[in-house]
Structure formats: structure tokens, C-alpha cells
Amino acid sequence: MNENLNGILNVYKEAGWTSFDVVAKLRGILKTKKIGHGGTLDPSVTGVLPVAVGKSTRLLEYMEAAGKIYEGEVTIGFSTETEDADGEIVSKTPVERELTESEIDSVMKNFIGKIKQIPPMYSAVKINGKKLYEYARAGQTVDRPTREITIKSFVRTSPVMTDEAAGLVSFSFKVECSKGTYVRTLAVDLAEQLGYAGHMSKLQRTVSNGLMIKDAVKLSEIEVAMEAGELSSLMYPAEYAVSDLPRVNLTADQFEMARVGKKFAEDDWVTDETTDSPVIKSNKSEFLLTDLSELTRDKFAAFYDDKLIAVYMKHPEKAGIWKPNKVLV
């Protein structure tokens, strides 16, 4: 087994593959067990699937939590049991009037910000120890708790296309959203607010963890690179796994504290009158803590000499204290 590999792969997931299928295939190609993906994609969805290899798998939780960008298509006029193009039709509402671009754009704005969403029945969310799609395949419907998600942007990216004979309207969109967002449910809810049944007819993830679809590589390309001994040319450093977190560059003294798991206390941060910069006091010395304003987030990535040292988080019980969530050196 090859246990020396370490880094992030920007995999292009093709249609028909589950995210688990991709990881299983890569275990064979790379001859290592330490592999995991950073955010599930449905089998019909294509695009960027970040994959962590080796020690980088310790960072999977940050990859999964990162925001993503998707591009897809909404079709209005009928809904499906799976909320996408793969499911059986469950409701038809032919569009017999003009749906204007301004009307659609106005309704799309309603979804910007923090919103509530109910996971679809055909999803892997667990209720009472059983996945929702297992209930759905058995013909059962169960109550699902709402979840809060964040939509940073949701815009139409094509003209509105009308099929008068079929009573259908469709258009392309782009959405930037938080972890846990079901884009197909977003499409269904958009259609509903417009007064019709609808579904997500296409979807592709174009950005995740700072990895872009234009740079994504297929499994076949990874296999060729591996056989040629050129896998390193496709591997990104582990730092890409925390690209969604604020970055704080540590000084040498801060590095010594972080590498042994020391906590930082906000009360220790003061302003150095000679430099008008925030500093943190320790028993040994005073030293600069850069990007202090970034700590408005609940986590930050601590770097020293351009290398990821640790991820810090707000202490869950002690106000004003930052504790290491994960130390990587």
C-alpha cells in the first residue's frame, strides 16, 4: 500500500458515479486506504469533487463545511419524486402564460440570505437511524426537520426558454450556497413561489474549496498520471482543504504556542500604541497577531511560513477563548 501520498485532488465527477464510487475507485488507483471526499454529489450531478488523500483526510470536516458554487437548470411545468430529472413525474402544471425574466429574477431574490429548507425524501439524511431515501423507496413519507442554510447568491444565467406545446419553461442559474443546501429543493421551491410545479433538470458543481471545474481531472487522467509517476502534478497542498476559513499568519512565538495546542484569549489582545496594531501578550513577550479582524468567524486557519499549522475555534463553553480544533504539526 502507498501510505506516503498526501494532498488534495480536484476530481471531475462524471454522471452515473456516486461520490463513494469515486473514492472506492481511487483507493485502487492510488493503492492507499486513506482517502475521503469533501462533499457528496448525487449520481446525476457532475463537477468538482474535492478528494483528500493521506494525512489530508484529517481536514475532511472543513472541506465538507465549505461553501460551494453550482450551475444548473430549472424546468417549470412538472415536478418529480426525486426533485430532479431522474424521478417519476408526480405533478403537472402546464405554464400557459408568459413568465417574464423580471418576475423570475424578483422571486429568486427571495432566497438570498439565511433561509429554511426541508430535505427531500430522496436524500441521505437520517431519521430514526434510517436514510430518507430508504423510506421513499418503501413508499413511505416521514416528517423531516427543517434546516437553516445560507444562499449567498442565486441568479438566472440564461434567457427564459419556453416550450409552448409542452407547457414548459426553463432557464439556467448559478447559486453560491452553504453546506447542507439541496439545490434541487431550491429549484422546486422557486417554481412553487412562481405558482407552478418544477424540478432541477441539470446540475454541475463548478467551485468547491477553492478548486475550480476548469482544473478538475477525470479518474482516467489520474490513473494515467499515477502509472507515469506524475501524480504530484495533479495534487494540491493540504491547505486547499481550509480555503473557506479565514487565514491568520502566525509569528514565530505564536507558532510555538499553536504547535503545542495552547489557547488564545481575546482579553490578551491589545493595541500596540507604537504600531497601532493588535498584539497578543504572553508570559514571554509581546508579538503581533495579524488579521485579528478575521476572528469574527467561529474558526480560523493558522499558518506559519506559508504552512498550515492548526485550525482554531471559539471555545464552546468559555467566552473569549480560542482553542485548537485540530493541530497539524
Pick the CATH number of 68-203 from 3.40.50.720, 3.30.2350.10, 3.40.50.300, 3.30.300.30: 3.30.2350.10
92: nearest Cα among 75, 104, 107: 75
**Residue 279: what pLDDT?**
56
25: nearest Cα among 302, 165, 276, 218: 218
> Pairing relation of β-strands 269-272 and 247-249?
unpaired
256: nearest Cα among 216, 310, 295: 310
Please name the residue ranges forming H helices in 194-302.
219-227, 252-259
pLDDT digit string (tens) for 304-325? Answer: 998 999 999 989 998 888 899 9
In whole angstroms, give the CA distance from residue 315 to residue 33: 33
Cell of 197: 410545479
Phi-psi region of 295 (alpha: psi -120 to 50; beta: other; left: phi over 0): alpha
**Residue 284: what pLDDT?**
42
Model's pTM, two decimal places?
A: 0.87
256: nearest Cα among 306, 319, 302, 318: 302
The stretches in the chain having pLDDT less than 50 are: 282-285, 291, 293
- Scan for cell 433538470, then name that residue: 201
Q: What's 89's DSSP letter? A: E
7-66+209-242 is a CATH 3.40.50.720 domain = no
In whole angstroms, give the CA distance from residue 262 to residue 307: 18
Q: Phi, psi at residue 111, to the nearest 5°?
A: -95, -5
pLDDT digit string (tens) for 32-80? Answer: 999 999 988 989 999 999 999 999 999 999 998 888 999 999 999 999 9
Beta partners for residue 324, in sequence order: 312
In whole angstroms, give the CA distance from residue 106 to residue 321: 43
Catalytic residues: 42
All CATH 3.30.2350.10 domain ranges of the chain, comma separated, are: 7-66+209-242, 68-203
**Residue 291: what pLDDT?**
46
Q: How many CA atoms lie within 13 A of 187 on its CB side?
A: 31
313: nearest Cα among 65, 38, 50: 65
- State the first-to-last Cα distance of the chain, in angstroms, to the nearest integer: 24
Q: What's 14's DSSP letter? A: P
**Residue 72: what pLDDT?**
97
